[in-house]
Every structure is written in C-alpha cells, then in structure tokens.
Amino acid sequence: MSWTTMKLLPLVCLCLLTRSGTTFADEHGSGVVRVVVKEGSDAILPCSLSTKENAESKLFDWKKDGGKEVFFYVGGFHYNNGRPGQDQQFKGRISHFQDELKYGNASIIIRKTKVTDSGDYTCDFPLLQPRQILKIQLVVELTFRDRSGEITGASPEPSVKILNQTQDVALLQCDVQGASPKPTVEWQDSAGNKLPAEEPQVSERGGSFYIIFQTTVKKTDNYRCVATQEEIKHQIYAETYVFISEKLFEDTCSRGDVTGWFFSGFSLGALAVLASLVATKFITVRCNKGAAVKRQRNRRETERSNGTSVLHQTV
C-alpha cells in the first residue's frame, strides 16, 4: 500500500460512516456505535461477529434499554416467522438480513423510526465463546413538520390575505390564531427567502398567542407565511399568489437608446445616418416584439392569479 493510500484510507472510512449516519463514539474504548436518523426514516443497527463466521445457525438477541425484546434469532427461527416474545413497540417494524448472516452480519433494520425508539440497544451472542455483546446507541431526531392535531397548542394553519394592493405594491397580512408556545412567524417568497416585514403584533389570551404579521411586496410571486414552534418541532404555512403588473417596454428598452443611435449617426455623415435609421428600425421592431411577449405573459399571469386561492401543505 502506498503512502498516499495509507493516508487517505481513514478519510474514506470516515466518509462512509458519516453517510450512513453511523459513527463510532469511541473507537478505542467502549466501542459504542451511535446511529442517528431522522424521525420517520429507517435505521440500520449494525452488528457483526468479529470473526465473520457464519451466523445462520447461531443464536443472537437484540434488546433495548436492557430489557425490551427487539429481535431474537435462533438457528432460523425468529420473531418474524412465529416466535413469540417481541415487544409490542417493535411489532412488524424489525427485519434482519438473511443473506448477510453467512458473513456473520446480524444487523437489523427498524422501519419508520419514532422518537421513542431512541435508546441503547445490545446485540448479544450469548452462546458464543467468548460471548460477544455489541452496544448501539440510536438517536432519532425530530424534524420540523405539521403536528397540528397531534400536539395541543400546535399552531393551526395561518390565514393569509392581501389587505391592500396598488399598481406596484401589495400589503399582505398573516394571522396566526391561538398557538402555544409562542410561534415565530416569517414571510417567504417562492424561493424560500425571508422577506423584510413589520414587527409582528402579538397578543396573549388564556395562555395562547395570537399574531398579526404584515409585509409589503413588489413582485408577482407566491408568498408564504410560515409559523414555527421550535420547542415542539411544529411548522405550518399558508400561501397566497400575488400578481403585480410589470412595467412595459419603456423601462427595459428606453427611447434614449434609439435617440442616441440616431444622433451618433448624424455626426458620422449621411451614410451613417442611413445605417442608424436601419438600426433604429431594427431596435423598434425588437422592442415591440419584446413588449408584445411581455403583454402576453402578463395576461397569462392575470388568468393564473384569478384561479389561485390559498394553498397549504406540510413543509
């Protein structure tokens, strides 16, 4: 093995581990493996015999927090083919990898992890000489999602409306009705950028928070009011489509350009004048065409805005 390969090897291993969400908390000492997954995703808890010997006919037992029966296997019989005794919490959610057993791999997978699956697991080969016990720590992280109806106090869907609209600005208002703990609110454009906004007006009644939150927008877009309660990892939003008519071609293709061409033409003589006239004609044609396209687009957007109401979905 070359010197470079040797130097790179630990780096490669580290990358592989990080990708699967698995880290060895302590490589030299206790050897506890830590697996971190997001709530709702699957977790593979790794366990392999150090000898790599065939485990198909062996006995191994996965337990959680010192007692709960997670997965028991003995010579082909296990919880998924009739053996009783599995803890209710894990019913129908655990599998082993049958094809991997011959390589001494007794890893299991927990499907659709819940926060309550977090904890300390052991993978035990009690009949092995010497006995082998591996410790795996599972951490199931909460993610932001819509938890309304699941947790009392979780903010209901905000209501958003266009309070006032002139030719080039619209005033939007977001109302959050009765949430506890106090949520943070944010206006975002369709790209997810946070918009500058007024200070939210917050009131409290009977331990619940009511928030009115306004912002002014100047562009056609889908705008979203997002309410977040960090403590309970709850997030919910409502959207509204705002149409603001764009200025027509005077802005993007000003008369100044054309006149400029014309005057510079004069100073260069008759031939140049002719050339500039031709150029002017070209520019006019191009600008008109551009404006026509723009007008058409504006019309389409008006149609779209008429058909759009408040949408909502889970983030």
Ligand X SMILES: *[C@@H]1O[C@H](CO)[C@@H](O)[C@H](O)[C@H]1NC(C)=O
Residue ranges that bind ligand X, judged by CB under 6 A: 44, 46, 48, 97, 100, 105, 107, 164, 166
Nearer residue to ligand X within complex by CB, 44 or 258: 44
Q: Answer whether 171's CB lies under 8 Å from 160's CB.
A: no
In the complex, the smallest distance separating the C-beta of residue 9 from ligand X, rounded to whole angstroms, is: 17
Q: How far is the CB of 105 from ligand X (least distance, A)?
A: 4
Q: Which one, 46 or 290, has the nearer CB to ligand X?
A: 46
CB 221 within 8 Å of CB 305: no
In angstroms, what is the minimal distance from the CB of 110 to ligand X? 13
Q: Look at the block and give the residue holding tokens 């990358």.
A: 15
The answer to whether 183 touches 132, Cβ cutoff 8 Å, is: no
CB burial of residue 59 (10 Å; 0-12, 13-18, 19+): middle
Q: How far is the CB of 136 from ligand X (least distance, A)?
A: 12
Cβ neighbourhood burial of 137 (10 Å; 0-12, 13-18, 19+): middle
Would you say 90 or 237 has its CB closer to ligand X? 90
- Looking at the Cβ atoms of 26 and 100, the one nearer to ligand X is 100
**What is the rounded distance in angstroms from the CA atom of residue 18 to the CA atom of residue 28?**
18
| Shortest Å distance, C-beta 169 to ligand X | 8
Cα distance between residue 44 and residue 20, in whole Å:
9
Bridge partners (DSSP) listed for residue 236:
227
Q: Which residue's CB is nearer to ligand X, number 34 or number 294?
A: 34
